[in-house]
Structure 1
Amino acid sequence: FVYRPVRSKSVQTLIEQGISALKNSGYQEISLSSLSSSDYRGLNELCDGLLDYCEPSMTRLSLPSLRADNFSMELMKRVQKVRRSALTFAPEAGSQRLRDIINKNITEEDLLNSCRNAFEGGWTAVKLYFMLGLPTETDEDVLQIADLTYKVLECFKKYASNKARGINITVSTSCFIPKPMTPFQWEAQVDIEEYSRRTRLLRDRLRSRSITYNWHDPRTGFVEAVLARGDRRLAPALESLVSRQGGLQAWDEYFDYDGWLECFRKNGIEPSFYATRERNTDEILPWSIISDGVNDSYLLRELERAKRGETTPDCREKCSGCGASLMAESGVCDE
């Protein structure tokens, strides 16, 4: 969960690693995975270097997560010359209020402008990623996910260069997990029943042949929250789970929720104590023994800013003084 201090690999290093992975894997696709691949400063140069290798062999290069406010149509046209796929954007929340709370510095206008450019350029498939259960989320926030999706649909109908082909909009929601070493580390996770209710609320609003709605199993999110926010008392349960099933479970088809609950029960663990309990800000947290340069006073200030809907700029543009630069050898992040 530690993303500070900000650091980026060089373009040349990534090109060499990408080409090496392709040569040694046999795959004909390479994906630049990131929370937001278009945030990488050398993205154009990186894509040019990889495409020089990929295009002759008809190997596909994909950018799975794009920021709606810095979307480059020219880059996407070249990236998808081999095979065109859906464009993926992650607004994370349907309402601007909630996007401000989680510091997702994009607007509805940013998203719709990017979609317009894509539709005018011939794209007919868009994927939108959101989270349910964000702090302070209301039913109105949930329904605004549907409202935003329908605005994307209307944008296609108005601006698409090939309307006859129709559009496929895929909406995916995941369960928000308050992670350690973030301003929301003290917040409670929404429980399984409430997450399921919000999923149904959104599903019932997304009624269109052009829209596909996918949602994550809330039980996997619950277990992930237990593991993310747990302490050393979880160790015996994990050991017994591995002994029982031969390994952990990263794929839905292998996920055994009842098995997890049984291992927790046998080891005297109440999982909701870790996942769905709001923590006092003076509580000693399991990860407090780890130092990443950012202290709780900074995270608390960011939490209060979030509750007021005040955003913090990208630290590559303006340092917010979190303290992580002290962990960098040069004393400067992202050099």
Structure 2
Amino acid sequence: MRIAVTGAFGFLGSRLTATLLEQRMLCGAPIEGMVLADRIVHDDAAGVDDPLVTVVHGDLSDRLDDLFADPVDVIFHLAAAVSAECEEDFDLGMHANLDVTRALLDAARGQCAAGGPVPRLVFSSSLAVYGMHPDQPPASLVDESTLPTPRTSYGTQKLICEQLIADCTRRGFVDGRVARLMTVAVRPGKANAAASAFLSAIIRDPLAGLSATCPVDPGLQVALASPQRTVRGLVRLAEVSRGTGPGQLSGTAPVNLPALTVSVTDMLATLRQAAGDTVADLVTIAPDPAVEAIVGSWPAAFDNTRAAALGLHPDPDFASVLRHHLADQAVTRTTDEPPRP
């Protein structure tokens, strides 16, 4: 079993990589090699010294020959430009999200044409493929049959990629499995360029003693998933067998990973209850119309039936999401401490 992960040194990619390297198995077979591809690679990144790992550094569209130097059985395609930067730079989003994905599909097709295996391709799409027009009432509950009507370039690019993957699956070039990710929170470290980055910042930064700004009306409801549940969903989609029976994946329709619906008000109240007033008061409400327009266009309430049939379930509440984050930070601090004499 040989696996490739694109965007492998990003937040989700590094967590997925750590999970796979820890279990050393996927789809019931031992992992014999992993190719970790990313534009930015740090020398001290987790996994780079593992004997199973080969690192491919650079723009993926220029390094696909290296990615497919040996036959690849499973590809986790996580590399992407995110929502706000795609609104800021249309050409960046088209290249990073659409052009690179098409090139990856062409390379997978080439592997098949040369007599290699049909790779399972797990693609990280987004809830941003759905969009609510401000003049229309929001859907009460969104499922995979809800018509995607993206309101951002990022969502549009992800939707196009979904359709390309479905067609390549129909034609036998890949075995595509599309996961529509919810907003992942709480993310540690420096915020990325996603419009939803504040949903992590208003929790992460006050816990570190830093001020944070909430750019939306606190009454806004959002769909969240913890990093742990998100990685579990990606691995499950890679492993599930195709078919029409219970617990199998049928058709080429995307799977909405499980969503916890919560308001920003509830998130901040949970932070206050867990960490106290001094911490919670570090958050300032300062609405930003540009951010509200993007995040407010995404649905918040999802029907999780299809994910549940695959054994995937949402986080029970935001308190559990916060506990996961605090536990992760405690482990990170312990790991980063210098050895004691």
> TM-score over 0.5 for the alignment?
no
Alignment TM-score, normalising by the size of structure 1: 0.38
Which one has a bigger Cα radius of gyration? 1
Alignment TM-score, normalising by the size of structure 2: 0.38
| Bigger fraction of residues in strand | 2
| Bigger fraction of residues in helix | 1
